[in-house]
Amino acid sequence: MEKYHVFIIEDDFRVADINKSYIEQNHQFSVKEVARSAADALFYLEKNAHEIDVIFLDIYIPDVEGMSLLWKIRSLYPSIDIIIISAEKQAHSVRIALRAGVFDYVVKPVSMDRLLQSLNRYERFRQLWTDEQLDQEQVDELTNVFHIHPTHVEEEQLLPKGIDAITLEKILHLFEGLVEEGLTAVELSEQTGISRSTSRRYLEYLVSMNRVETRLIYGSVGRPQRKYVICS
């Protein structure tokens, strides 16, 4: 039977080792390589992409921002399937990943049973693709095995008008790197390139969702400065 080659992209070597041991419980899968940074991952793929069937990808890698590595891999290597392994549980992040065409999204901490379930589904998915023609029953099975992606309309209904999922994900990731310091609306505008009014709109939305909170910073003169920090 065909053996599927796996590439793990995970910055924590302990997590990578655990996932590798889980994956190789299914003898149809072999881990070819592990990368701990986006730079190493892209360097490896440039030379070895033809050997890889599926990538196990952690969304947040230190040397890239948010999901940019996912989109980069998807654009450069569309024939490689991707399974996300991430601690990110926010619905908008999952929707973005699904729209990027990932096969599965597994939330950390990963159980062996859940990971093996994903591998079994992937194995069946690949078996169905070997047929040159599919009857309706096989098409139905294929769509059940694979994710049905949320539509653009569904995503817009889940977020209020003027709030874009990708921009929101970028802002949240920025806050996660500034747990103590926080940001003012002006600082957010400068770091993301959006207008000050737009940055205030996103900040007010995040406050309403209890994702960030406001703090007043008092200086020696003038009005207090309003800072936004991620909720603990």
pLDDT value at position 148? 40
Share of residues in the chain with pLDDT > 90 (%): 39
CA-to-CA distance for 72 and 105, rounded, in angstroms?
A: 18
Give me the numbers of helices (H) and strands (E) for the chain, helices first please: 10, 7
Q: How far is CA 209 from CA 15, 84, 181, in A?
A: 31, 25, 20
Structural domains of the chain ordered from first start: 4-150 (3.40.50.2300), 159-230 (1.10.10.10)
Q: Which of 75-84, 103-112, 158-167, 179-188 has the least mean pLDDT?
A: 158-167
**In this model, does residue 20 exceed pLDDT 60?**
yes
Q: Say how many C-beta atoms besides its own lie within 10 A of residue 22's C-beta.
A: 20
CA-to-CA distance for 77 and 86, rounded, in angstroms?
A: 21
Instruction: Taking the CA atoms of 32, 35, 40 and 42 in sequence, report the sign of the dihedral they define.
Output: positive
Model confidence at 4, pLDDT cuts 50, 70, 90, reads very high
pLDDT value at position 218? 78
- Kindly report, residue by residue over 41-51, the tens digit of the pLDDT: 999 999 999 99
Give the best-scoring range by mean pLDDT among 29-38, 67-76, 118-127: 29-38
- Kindly report, residue by residue over 101-152, the tens digit of the pLDDT: 899 999 888 889 889 989 988 988 888 766 667 777 777 666 665 544 443 4
Higher-confidence residue of 157 and 169: namely 169
Least Cα distance to 108 among 83, 89, 95 occurs for: 89
pLDDT value at position 91? 80
Upstream peptide bond of 150 is cis (omega within 30 degrees of 0): no
Model confidence at 207, pLDDT cuts 50, 70, 90, reads confident
